[in-house]
């Protein structure tokens, strides 16, 4: 039986997302592994990995919002916009930031915004990643990126760093894919009137999967050695639980497995409709772009389908 599902992995700091993909290929003995959005090596947290036929869900799951918990350090900026870079600007923060001022700045960053990606990032310009330009000391114009910040708020008490040079402000953010939380911290600092960087970050939710559902690498190694790695997988149906589901008959299931175009009026209206049979997902259907009143397959999930 082919292994298929979503592994809710807790990525530790110090590993790349690709490192985790390589591990999962070994755990599940398949090359069909894909992640749903990279995490910087210094960032820990939720990294859903799609295994087997579930890799077809990667584009859909990548669209989902992400939730992060971080700490903004007011007092200095760095080359990388986080604690790993070299300090390039300092300024003394004379005291605590009034709550009203802080929330006003956070609110100003909520909504559809544009960001300039950090030089130390994997964004490609002219076929070359920005961090490659940065390491070579080359200047390059960075493209603006449109992202959405759904919510941004202080999540704990502010405190001073041990050296007294940084005011540390914990925050939580709900944002779209492609958002650089490092840059968000720098922008918030600028609007407060101080240089800033991101001193700590972890992702607490991705693809609708929260941190408590995740499995550690140590636990996965134990499971793989015991031969029950598959037990750690979440089902496709669970990960798609926020979509409209519709259970079909055996006759309808056969049509869906063959990728039939269907009439909208025969089924519930939904942006994405997950057809199931015996509570197993067969396919995800969406409105047909050219045929009004019809729906077509977006993703075929049944192992018996021709796609």
Which residues are catalytic, by number? Answer: 40
How large is the C-alpha radius of gyration of the chain? 22
Q: Residues in the chain, how many?
A: 307
- 153 Cβ contact list (under 8 Å, min separation 6): 103, 106, 171, 172
**Cα separations in angstroms, 185 against 118, 145, 177, 210:** 12, 16, 16, 23
Distance CA 280, CA 257 (A): 12
Distance CA 128, CA 130 (A): 7
Joined together, the tokens standing for residue 96 give 């605590």
Q: At what angle do helices 217-226 and 17-28 cross, to 10 degrees?
A: 20
For tokens 């939904």, the residue is 270
3-state secondary structure of 8: strand
Q: 114: buried, middle or exposed (CB in 10 Å: 19+, 13-18, 0-12)?
A: exposed
For tokens 């708020």, the residue is 153
- 6 Cβ contact list (under 8 Å, min separation 6): 48, 49, 50, 51, 54, 57, 61, 207, 209, 233, 234, 235, 236, 238, 239
Joined together, the tokens standing for residue 183 give 């840059």
**Cα separations in angstroms, 238 against 13, 186, 241, 245:** 27, 36, 5, 11
């Amino acid at each position: 039986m082919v292994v298929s599902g979503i592994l809710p992995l807790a990525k530790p700091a110090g590993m790349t997302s690709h490192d985790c993909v390589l591990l999962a290929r070994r755990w599940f003995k398949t090359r069909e592994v894909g992640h749903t959005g990279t995490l910087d090596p210094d960032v820990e947290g939720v990294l859903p990995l799609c295994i087997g036929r579930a890799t077809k869900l990667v584009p859909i799951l990548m669209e989902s919002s992400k939730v992060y918990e971080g700490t903004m350090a007011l007092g200095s900026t760095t080359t990388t916009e986080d604690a790993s870079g070299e300090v390039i600007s300092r300024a003394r923060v004379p005291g605590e930031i009034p709550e009203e001022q802080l929330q006003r700045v956070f609110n100003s960053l909520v909504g559809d915004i544009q960001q300039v990606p950090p030089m130390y990032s994997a964004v490609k310009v002219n076929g070359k990643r920005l961090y490659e330009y940065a390491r070579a000391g080359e200047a390059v114009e960075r493209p603006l990126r449109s992202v959405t910040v759904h919510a941004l708020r202080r999540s704990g008490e502010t405190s001073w760093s041990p050296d007294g040079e940084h005011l540390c402000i914990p925050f939580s953010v709900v944002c779209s894919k492609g958002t650089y939380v490092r840059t968000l911290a720098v922008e918030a600092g600028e609007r407060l009137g101080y240089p800033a960087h991101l001193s700590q970050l972890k992702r607490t939710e991705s693809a609708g999967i929260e941190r408590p559902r995740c499995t550690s690498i140590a636990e996965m190694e134990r499971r793989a050695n015991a031969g029950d790695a598959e037990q750690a997988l979440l089902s496709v149906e669970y990960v798609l639980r926020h979509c409209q589901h519709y259970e079909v008959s055996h006759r309808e299931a056969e049509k869906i497995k063959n990728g039939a175009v269907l009439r909208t009026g025969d089924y519930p209206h939904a942006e994405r409709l997950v057809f199931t049979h015996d509570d197993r997902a067969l396919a995800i259907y969406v409105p047909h772009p050219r045929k009004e009143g019809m729906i077509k397959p977006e993703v075929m999930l049944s192992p018996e389908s021709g796609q």
